[in-house]
Structure 1
Amino acid sequence: MDVIVVGAGAAGLACALDAASAGPRVLVLESSDGVGGRMRTDVVDGFRLDRGFQVFNTSYPQVRRRVRLRELRLRPFTPGFVLAGSRGRHRFADPTRRPDLAGDLRPGRLAPLPDTVALGLLAARDLLLPAALLRRGRDVPTARALRAGGISDRTVDAVLRPFLAGVFLEDALETSSRVFHLYWRSMLRGTLCLPSAGIGAVPEQLAAGLPPGALRLDAPVAALTDDGVVLQDGTEVAGRAVVVATGPHEAAGLLPGLAVGPVRAVTTFYHAASRSPLGEPTLLVDSDRRLLNSVVLTEVVPGLSSDGRALVSTSVLGTDAAESEVRARLAELYGVDTAHWEPVAEYRIPVALPAMPAPHPLTRSARVAPGRYVCGDHRATGSVQGALASGARAAREVLADLAGGG
């Protein structure tokens, strides 16, 4: 092979597609029985379950470039979210898209007038400025950037922190402000939605574009060699360039000396209910931060359930949450009896996102040694955009080195 890609997640697939389109012989080696990495969908007891709560953002440049959106049959979430908890229930809606739902944005409900104005100015700035300017902005923790933008600590803690904790998987808001502004911009410009078949439909579509024979599943790589890689079954595969497109810890195991940063963990619980506790496709955010968020996924995509029952997804920071405590909290947030909700599955994900504290590099070179490269969202930003862009960068660097005889 000219190029061996280890891992068939979003980054590895993007790298392989771009490299193969330029002519080199490419082989993707995936250790599991399917493509997608963290972007996979399982079928359990007639329900389609993503491996952890997922949303798909149509505004990402790499998504627009690579994905045939119509084929995914996308179903949108309500633009905004509902805050529920000890402060009551309020709705944070995008007034440009759903003015009929934006009543709680009136001053004195969710936030005082100065904070409402400040948040509107921040949103307008992120929506209208070129992304290149946001990338070059001063990088500080998100909490500090929000204060500098004129939003009071009270409004940050009551409204923004609970929601952003579910975006960044951390509630201290230490995430890079440049990352925050780019994420906020993408949410304002795009539609948050889900494919009708689950998030796994996205990498499956990408993988279908690979040349015949370029993907090998159930092929775990044990080590890199001077000539390529060796699989766990002892099979050796030669390749001029090897791209490691795995998670950060697996990448460090294959590339000794590779520096990897901290990661964020999350647990997602799935429950089946006889009836929907919220009759709309809207994210419910816990204002007291005991949970991250919950959503009735069958209000977004009815086909995720085969028997008409409601499918509820709930996420919690970390990997230690108890299902019984989560279900009890859901009863408080939804205002319904959850005693008879059936636990369907739970996904405890210790490496769900890379931590992105300020200052955070938005992209890094894929080259780590002659003929050795690495890509993934841990080399960019923790998003589908970050993963795809990192894979694209790896392909560019590999192709340049192959053309130069490297």
Structure 2
Amino acid sequence: MEKKSYKIHIIGAGVSGLIAAKVLEDNGYHPIIIEASNRVGGRVKTDVIDGYQLDHGFQVLLDAYPQAQKYLDFNALELQKFVPGATIFTDGKRSTIGDPLRDWSLLFSTLSSSIGTIGDKLKILKLNSTLKKTSIETIFSSPETTTLSYLESKGFSKDIINKFYKPFFAGIFLEPQLNTSSRMFKFVYKMFGEGHAVLPKAGIEAIPRYLQKQLKHTSFRFNTKVTAVNDDHLVLENGDKIRTHFSIIATEASHLIPNLKQTTKWKSCDNLYFTMETRAIDKPIIGLISNRNTLINNLFFHSSLNTASETKRELLSVTIVKNHNLDEKRLIENVQIELEKLCGISNTHFLKRYQITKALPELNNLQYDCSPTETQLKPTIFLAGDQQLNGSLNAAMLSGQRAAEGLILALEDGLRVEELTSEYL
């Protein structure tokens, strides 16, 4: 049987599924992607509402990610850089700190900031230097503890942990106590130190859209929900069955495979968008709220970056990672009160709320990579998705690559191919 004649189905058109399709195409196969929604992207989506680009949750790409450098064309995406630092709001006062080695304009504000001691700032520089010299493989083979315990072991003061590290990394890890694995912290810290946080000019969804455009021999079935994946067929929500030789599940698999013990817990967040006449932070730098009992964790003025959609008013994104029981009306009111009281941001007009229940996988024993054979769940079924490794776009890409490579290895096994071809002829 010719390679292009094999029925290879990928369930999920997120980043993992798109990368899996790319690897299969590069090796001569013509996969089929089945997606429950109406477009590619999975959790990486951007809506345009009233002319404003609204990402589903505050998401950034770290341009130092090895897989991003491998699979993405940064020029085509027109990546817009963030300033490598943060503006921190504490009890109505603000200060800005950052990495002066990458942006000299941050030197004076960082040294003069009341956030942390001089010793803390020297420890930050030392940590930057140490992690730059540490390989990714070493990071992910190191003993695993919580991020908070790791920072305490490095001698950072409670002041800089509570006012900078907690709000900054809570916005990345989507949990406020820094219980996330120290491996993830060191990996992300290393990536920040080696590059920049960036956003495509057209929003975060430009990434999966770019990947989709690279696919020349992959067919798509949108608005099609798979309810079960079996060895030789898929079951759709409408009861139809699709015959298949191989399947890659590039989404959560627990509800698709009978008796699958592997289940994923998820972190959630709220993302609210507001418009206003003027922005409180001129530079494209993240804003953090360091007060412990506030709803808001971080904020960002998307209009401080160049965007594909031009609007007259400023656009503000607010992220909440703490659990709450507020209905939408009360949530908006409380957020607006905090913005005015703590940040001096007033006259905001609510635009859109994204309540994201599956924002990041909650994982232990994080891995950077795996062998292609480790992605094989059954002889004809393979798993992909960042939940297989760690919660990052880099992991989503790498897991998709490994699942496709695992499938190709299975197909190149002569006995396996003979059994499949005789079965489906």
Q: TM-score, normalised by structure 1?
A: 0.93
Describe the shift of the 1:21–1:33 C-alpha distance in structure 2 as closer, same or farther (beyond 3 A). Answer: same
Give matches, 1:315-330, under 5 Å: 315-317=319-321, 318=323, 320=325, 322-330=331-339
- State which of 271, 275, 278 in structure 2 corresponds to 1:272: 275
- Note the C-alpha offset of 1:302: 4.4
Give matches, 1:190-339, under 5 Å: 190-246=195-251, 248=252, 251-256=253-258, 257-289=260-292, 290=294, 291-304=296-309, 306-317=310-321, 318=323, 320=325, 322-338=331-347
- The residue number in structure 2 matching 1:393 is 402
Structure 2: gaps spanning 5 or more residues: 1-5, 417-425
- Note the C-alpha offset of 1:212: 3.9
- Note the C-alpha offset of 1:109: 2.5
| 1:136 pairs with 2:141 | yes
Describe the shift of the 1:344–1:24 C-alpha distance in structure 2 as closer, same or farther (beyond 3 A). Answer: same
Look up the equivalent residue of 1:309 and give its one-letter code.
R
Describe the shift of the 1:233–1:144 C-alpha distance in structure 2 as closer, same or farther (beyond 3 A). Answer: same
The answer on whether the counterparts of 1:286 and 1:293 sit within 8 Å (CA) in structure 2 is yes
- The residue number in structure 1 matching 2:130 is 125
Look up the equivalent residue of 1:86 and give its one-letter code.
D
The answer on whether the counterparts of 1:298 and 1:311 sit within 8 Å (CA) in structure 2 is yes
Give matches, 1:110-121, under 5 Å: 110-121=115-126
Q: State the identity as a percent.
A: 27
- Note the C-alpha offset of 1:122: 1.1
Distance 2:124 2:84 in 1: 16
- State which of 93, 114, 122 in structure 2 corresponds to 1:88: 93
Distance 2:97 2:58 in 1: 20
- Note the C-alpha offset of 1:213: 4.9
Describe the shift of the 1:67–1:108 C-alpha distance in structure 2 as closer, same or farther (beyond 3 A). Answer: closer
Look up the equivalent residue of 1:217 and give its one-letter code.
F
| 1:27 pairs with 2:32 | yes
Distance 2:43 2:219 in 1: 21
- Note the C-alpha offset of 1:363: 4.3
- The residue number in structure 1 matching 2:3 is none
Structure 1: gaps spanning 5 or more residues: none
| 1:155 pairs with 2:163 | no
- The residue number in structure 1 matching 2:383 is 374
Give matches, 1:39-50, under 5 Å: 39-50=44-55
Look up the equivalent residue of 2:401 and give its one-letter code.
A
Aligned residues: CA RMSD: 1.9
**Runs of at least 4 residues off by over 6 Å:** none
Describe the shift of the 1:101–1:28 C-alpha distance in structure 2 as closer, same or farther (beyond 3 A). Answer: same
| Other structure's SS at 2:88 match | strand
Q: TM-score, normalised by structure 2?
A: 0.89
The answer on whether the counterparts of 2:88 and 2:95 sit within 8 Å (CA) in structure 1 is yes
Distance 1:225 1:296 in 2: 46
- The residue number in structure 2 matching 1:348 is 355
Distance 1:374 1:188 in 2: 31
- State which of 52, 58, 61 in structure 1 corresponds to 2:63: 58
Look up the equivalent residue of 2:411 and give its one-letter code.
L
| Other structure's SS at 2:255 match | helix
How many residue pairs get aligned? The number is 399
Describe the shift of the 1:218–1:108 C-alpha distance in structure 2 as closer, same or farther (beyond 3 A). Answer: closer
